[in-house]
Structure 1
Amino acid sequence: MTNADYSPRSGTPAPPRLAALRRPGATPGARSTAVVARLPGLALACAVALVATAAGRLAPVIGGPVSAVVLGVLVAVAVRPGERLRPGIAFAGRGVLQAAVVVLGAQLSLTQVLRVGVGSLPVMIGTLAACLAAAYWIGRRLGVVRDLRTLIGVGTGVCGASAIAAVTPVIGAAEAQVAYAISTIFVFNVAAVLSFPALGHLLGMGQEAFGVFAGTAVNDMSSVVAAAATYGGPAADHAVVVKLARTLMIIPICLVLAAIARRRTRTAEDAAADTETAGPGQGAAAPVRVGRLVPWFLIGFLALAAANTAGLVPPAAHGPIGTLAVFLITVALSAVGLSTQPAKLRRTGLAPLLLGGCLWVVVSATSLGFHFLGQYL
């Protein structure tokens, strides 16, 4: 299974129509069919986002993005979206979110991006190191299998479902393990969105400080932006930059995991050759292409930030652009809520969920520790 045929939300292969759209040689007819297949689910996500936006205006402390997650979960439990709606919901949860990140770039300058990214580097490296070490140590003691604890550790430490999707073909993880990992990450994404803004206010954190906290301590980009946008616009700007810089960490991680996986594969093949049973297994690791690990939306974000730095984006357009970005984020979070599958969360089991909770606490505490340490230095 390749990244092109993988749906990071569900942990299952993408529907054939979506796989046809992603395939380089797909015909115009196949692309058109796939686009049409997305419309019902996308329309549902937009409808939930509109209601959530209205609810967010009535309760600004909660905000539209958080309302979108809650409403999406309620609709998913009540309606249980079927196959007809899933392609559009999957696209809204990933494609629309990526478009929102690109749009956010039009409000920032490259100088700001560089300053925030470099300034948050010690926190990013510290939280990632703490998370991966805890995943190995705690995961082994909880009895969580190697590939599953790797997926949960990378998903928590780097960028949630996106990191899990990138690492899956590298280590050859089973689909059931991917689904467990994503379900576990999702639980603590929602917990972060609901609790972190209140925690930030309780601790008296400023906009920049909370942006760094959200960007380093929350898993998926959608949840990072939702938590930060609820706290304030400047916090969201900082959180997006920190999160994008953190996302790049997946490149060295995938390269290291690929080297480890290749060594294990060679060892297994050598052992199998001794008994004349050598041969590639179903879980064989896939080769890594560095270029494919750099997300397109990061390039788009930097391109629009460069355009804004060059003065090509009028200052008067920043307000409408910000409104558009928040609505796109709300649509994406509606899809995240609509993607909820309670049965899959139940099947995750206690040990992986407990591991995810421990790692969430470790990353959050490490990020806050760096924040308060910086205040005393």
Structure 2
Amino acid sequence: MENELDSREPRSPTAARISALTSHIPGLALASGVAGFATVVGEVFPLVGGPVAGVVVGALVAAVWKPGVRVRPGVRVASKSLLQIAVVLLGTQLSLARIFHVGAESLPVMVGSLVACLAGAFLLGRWLGIGGNLRALIGAGTGICGASAIAAVTPVIGAAGAEVAYAVSTIFVFNVAAVIVFPALGHVMGMDPDAFGLFAGTAVNDMSSVVAAATTYGPAAVDYAVVVKLTRTLMIIPICVGLAVLANRRALAARTGASASRVRLAGLVPWFLVAFLMAAAANSVGLVPAGVQRGFGELSVFLITVALSAIGLSTDLAGLRRTGPRPLVLGACLWVIVSLTSLGLQFTVGSL
């Protein structure tokens, strides 16, 4: 009888926390293993990159073997919490002083391209009948910084794994197209290295593809393209804040049955975006040594790969098939819009 009573006693809070942490290990190990393989694939095929390979390999694993209950808690943590940590680490790659130096020339082109992309995502996406979350992911990925922007936006809007997988795949297709087409286009137009760097930095999505396109064009274009691309990453903050406000208004309207006229900003800004900005500020004043910065950059890419691998493992392939080709059409339209807007604004401000 005494043993039976002992077995019914609730576990201590510490034991419960240890049990919860232990339950995450199988899923985290699986996502990390997929990410490790995807990283190797990304090194062999730099144009693909580890993060994109992660979501593809994860989806293939899920198609062959659907992850069971034992691994789901860890996969869920990897797809959310690790994404947020990765975004924070991205901030250590930014130098605000360097951004201000380049910003006077690049900001009009950068902001104009982003506005055109987001407007296109909203209008064309609605016309094509694409859901709001998927429109937001493809718009942010195309207009800001590919997989990193999708990683930042996902927890803010609560996007499903299938939506994230489709958005990342769509962005990847047009990254490849940009690396192939843009250098040839730049040579035809007679762009100087800085002009092409600005074009690549504003019109190509993921950093690996920006570097690939700029390197193909010429070594002198790479440095400028990378600075523009890192500056563009800062656009994650206002976009995520805006999406958080919209999500809060919709949730409040759903609860009250009426539209919300006022939204409190306190608590809407995700913690990881605040930490992202603090990391960028710390790096700007020299608090992040060069060696640590490189390590954080590599860790950030790997954590994004782990998170996207987890999202791939959670992907509903039947849901992707039901979605059809319309998001790919949206991605193509946005790619053209961003490219033409970047070139048009450069011509307007005299960069071309």
TM-score normalized by structure 2? 0.68
The CA deviation at 1:198 is: 3.6
| 1:112-142 Cα deviation digits (max 9, x unpaired) | 3445667554345434543454455445654
Alignment-mate amino acid for residue 34 of structure 2 = V
Aligned match of 1:326 in 271, 277, 301?
301
- Write out per-residue CA displacement over residues 275-307 of structure 1, whole angstroms, 9 at most, x where no aligned residue: xxxx955x9879744233323223223323333
- Are 1:211 and 2:201 matched, yes or no? yes
> Larger Rg: 1 or 2?
2
Is the CA contact 1:54–1:64 (under 8 Å) kept in the aligned structure 2? yes
State the secondary structure of the residue aligned to 1:340: coil
CA distance in structure 1 between the aligned counterparts of 2:126 and 2:298, rounded to whole angstroms: 45
Question: Comparing 101-110 with 183-192, which one deviates more in the overlay?
Answer: 183-192
Check 1:202–1:81 CA distance in 2 against 1; reply closer, same or farther (3 A cut). farther
Q: 1:106 to 1:287 in 2, by over 3 A?
A: same
Q: Are positions 1:310 and 2:292 aligned together?
A: no
**So what's the TM-score if we normalise by structure 1?**
0.64
Letter in 2 for 1:319: R
Q: Where does residue 235 of structure 2 map in the other structure?
A: 245
Query: Hey, what's the Cα distance between the residues in 2 that align with 1:342 and 1:295?
Result: 30
Distance 2:294 2:179 in 1: 23
| Change in 2 beyond 3 A, CA 1:160/1:193 | same
Size of the aligned set, in residue pairs, is 316
Q: Gapped runs of 5+ residues in structure 2? A: 1-12, 141-148, 187-192, 216-221
Question: What residue is the counterpart of 2:170 in the other structure?
Answer: 188
Q: How does 1:1-377 map to 2 (within 5 A)?
A: 31-115=17-101, 120-135=106-121, 137-139=123-125, 141-142=127-128, 144=129, 148=131, 150-158=132-140, 159-160=149-150, 163=153, 166=156, 182=164, 185-204=167-186, 206=196, 209-214=199-204, 218=205, 224-225=206-207, 227-228=209-210, 238-252=228-242, 255=245, 280-281=256-257, 288-349=263-324, 354-355=329-330, 358-359=333-334, 361-363=336-338, 365-367=340-342, 369-370=344-345, 376-377=351-352
**Could you tell me whether the CA contact under 8 Å between 2:249 and 2:260 is conserved in 1?**
no
Letter matched to residue 272 of structure 2: F
After TM superposition, give the deviation of residue 47 of structure 1 in Å. Answer: 0.8
The answer to whether the 8 A contact 1:213-1:368 is kept is no
Partner SS for 1:80: coil
Distance 2:50 2:169 in 1: 19
Question: Residue 292 of structure 1 aligns to a residue in which SS?
Answer: coil
**SS of alignment partner, residue 248 of structure 1:** helix
Moved more, 77-86 or 201-210: 201-210
Aligned residue for 1:54, secondary structure, equals: helix
Assess if the C-alpha contact under 8 Å between 1:258 and 1:285 holds in 2.
no
Describe the SS at the equivalent of 2:266: helix
Aligned mates of 1:254, 1:327 — CA distance in 2: 26
Give the aligned residue type for 2:265: V
After superposition, the CA RMSD in angstroms is 4.2
Name the CA shift for 1:252/1:307 in 2 (closer, same or farther; >3 Å). Answer: closer
In structure 2, C-alpha distance between the alignment counterparts of 1:101 and 1:351, rounded to whole Å: 29
Is the CA contact 2:52–2:169 (under 8 Å) kept in the aligned structure 1?
Answer: no
Change (3 A) 1:32 1:212: farther
Do the aligned residues in 2 keep the contact of 1:183 with 1:348 (CA within 8 Å)? no
Deviation of 1:58 after TM superposition, in Å, equals 3.2
Gaps of 5+ in 1: 1-26, 169-174, 219-223, 267-278
Q: What is the rounded CA distance, in whole Å, between the counterparts of 2:248 and 2:92 in structure 1?
A: 35
8 Å contact from structure 1 (residues 69, 333) kept in 2 = yes
User: Following TM superposition, by how much is the alpha carbon of 1:354 offset from its aligned partner in structure 2, in angstroms?
Assistant: 4.7
Give, in whole Å, the separation in 2 of the partners of 1:364 and 1:102. 28
